[in-house]
Homo-oligomer: A and B are copies of this chain.
Amino acid sequence: MAKQRIAAAPSVRRLPSYLHIIRQAQSEGVEFISGTVIANELNLEPIQVRKDLAITGIIGKPKKGYPTVALIAAIEHFLGWDDVQDAVLIGAGNLGTALSGYQEFQYHGLNIQAAFDSDKNKVGTKIHGVPVLAIDTLELQIKHFEAKIAILTVPSSQAQLITDKLIKAGIKAIWNFTNVKLKVPQDVVVQKEDLTSGYAMLCVKMKSFKSPDSFREQ
């Protein structure tokens, strides 16, 4: 994969929490929202919020802020969340089942069409309305779906093997919840989720009470 441009990544990561707040404001009839209001909700600096929002191309009005409807549209368009994103879930264990029932994803256009698992007891059932199919039929069946995204929650030992099959079947994006650094061709994107990152933040915040000259983030 090409070198990343990490500068923008933290901004992209913050956009969903902004969207959450702006949508809530809109539902309460608020027509304009300022970067400062969003910043206060999230314990961020207003300048940071304005910089982050600027990557979506929207420009706020002095003193008034951003029109909420246009701001929601700009963020959703920037993230591609104004389109439906079809996905398949690989691994219907506890984590996979939790993800399939995560309502926030549905608000953001993520449509999980099917889950695949090796457990014969799960095949033929549904998790949160998503049918569970046999993983050994993956290559055969996946072509019936429009999905370009695979959400990978299999045991680490199988991660690369299954990734190779997914790529052969035409998957172009893998949301990787395993701790394996996947090898993929240039035209396939991988987003690796690492829950220990959040745990690291929690621990550093706890330490900041012992040595106050330390780091904070909500």
Residues of B within 8 A of A3 (CB): 43, 45, 216
B45-A216 in contact (CB<8A): no
Size range of the chain A interface in the assembly:
35 or more
For residue A70, CB closer than 8 A to chain B, the reply is: no
For residue A108, CB closer than 8 A to chain B, the reply is: yes
Write the A195-218 contact mask toward B (1 if CB under 8 angstroms, else 0): 111111111111111000001111
For residue A172, CB closer than 8 A to chain B, the reply is: yes
Closest to A48 in B: B6
Other A-B contacts than A6-B10, A95-B95, 11 sampled, CB-CB below 8 A, are: A4-B218, A5-B216, A9-B215, A12-B217, A13-B197, A17-B194, A41-B181, A94-B94, A104-B179, A173-B205, A187-B209
